[in-house]
Structure 1
C-alpha cells in the first residue's frame, strides 16, 4: 500500500510542477519555438524504421516530405515568419526530396520516380528564382544600371561637354 501512495504522490507532484511551469509561460515558449518537432519526429521515425529494415522503402517518401517541411517551419519559427514569402516553393520541393530518397534507396523503384522528383525540383527551383527576382531583383537591376552607367561615364578618358 505504501508503494501505491508513493506513486500517486509522485504523479501529483509532477502534475503540480507541470501546471506551475505552464502558468509561468515555460511551456508556451517551448511550444512557440519547438512545435515543428512534432512534424520532424515522424519524418525521422520513417527514416529510422526503413534503415533498420522494419518498414519498406515507400516510407521514405512521407519521411522526406515531413522532414523537409519541418525544416522550413523551424527556419520560419526561429528567424521570422516573413521568411515564408521566400521559402514557399520548398513545399513543392518536399515531395521531390521524398521521391528522390525513394529512388536512391530502392533498387526496384520505377524510372518515373526520378523523373517526377526532377520535375518537381525544377519547378521549385524556378519558383525560388522567380520569388527572389521579384522580391529583391529590383535591387540587382538598380545596381547593374548604376554600374553600366558609371562605366559609360568614366570609360572615356577625354572629357566631353554635353
Structure 2
C-alpha cells in the first residue's frame, strides 16, 4: 500500500505542475510555437523508415510534403503569418519535392513521376517569382531602371 500511495503522490504532483504551467501560459506558448513538429516528426519518420528499409519508397511523397510544410509553418511562426502571402507557392513545391524524392530514391518509378515533379516545381517557381514581383515590384522596377541608366552612362562614348 505504501508503494501505491507513493506513485499516486508523484502523479498528483505532476498533474499539479502541468496545471500551473498551463495557467501561467507556458504550455500555450510552447504549443503555439512548436506545433509544426506535429508535421515535421512524421515527415522525418517517413524518411527514416524508408532509409532503414522498413517502409516502401511511396512514403517519401508524404514525407517530403510534410517536411516542406512544417518548415514553412516554422518560418511563419518566427517571422509572422503575413509571410504566407508570399510563401503560398510552397504548398505546390512540397508536392514536387515529395515526387522528386520518390523518383530520386526509387529507380523503378515511372518517368511520369519525374515529369510531374518538374512541372509542379516549375509552376511553384513561377508563382514565387510572380508573387515577389507583386510584393516587391516597385523595387524591381527601380533596380532595372538604375541598371539601365548605369549601362547607358558607362557604354556611351565620352565625346564631350
Number of positions where the alignment pairs a residue of Structure 1 with one of Structure 2: 158
Compute the displacement of 1:94 (Å).
0.3
Please give the per-residue CA displacement for 1:4-59, whole angstroms capped at 9, x wherever unaligned: 11111111111100000111111111112111001111111111111111111101
Compute the displacement of 1:153 (Å).
7.6
Pair 1:12 & 2:20 matched: no
Which runs of 5 or more structure 1 residues have no equivalent in the other structure?
Answer: none
Q: Distance in 2 between matches of 1:41 and 1:146?
A: 47
Compute the displacement of 1:137 (Å).
2.0
Q: Distance in 1 between matches of 2:152 and 2:112?
A: 52
Please give the per-residue CA displacement for 1:56-106, whole angstroms capped at 9, x wherever unaligned: 110110010000000000000011111111111000000111111111111
User: Which residue does 1:124 correspond to in 2?
Assistant: 124
Normalized against structure 1, the TM-score is what? 0.90
User: Which residue does 2:66 correspond to in 1?
Assistant: 66
Equivalent residues in 2 for 1:1-162 (5 A)?
Answer: 1-149=1-149, 158=160
Which runs of 5 or more structure 2 residues have no equivalent in the other structure?
Answer: none
Q: Distance in 2 between matches of 1:147 and 1:51?
A: 49
Aligned pair in 2 of structure 1 residues 135, 10: CA closer, same or farther (>3 Å)? same
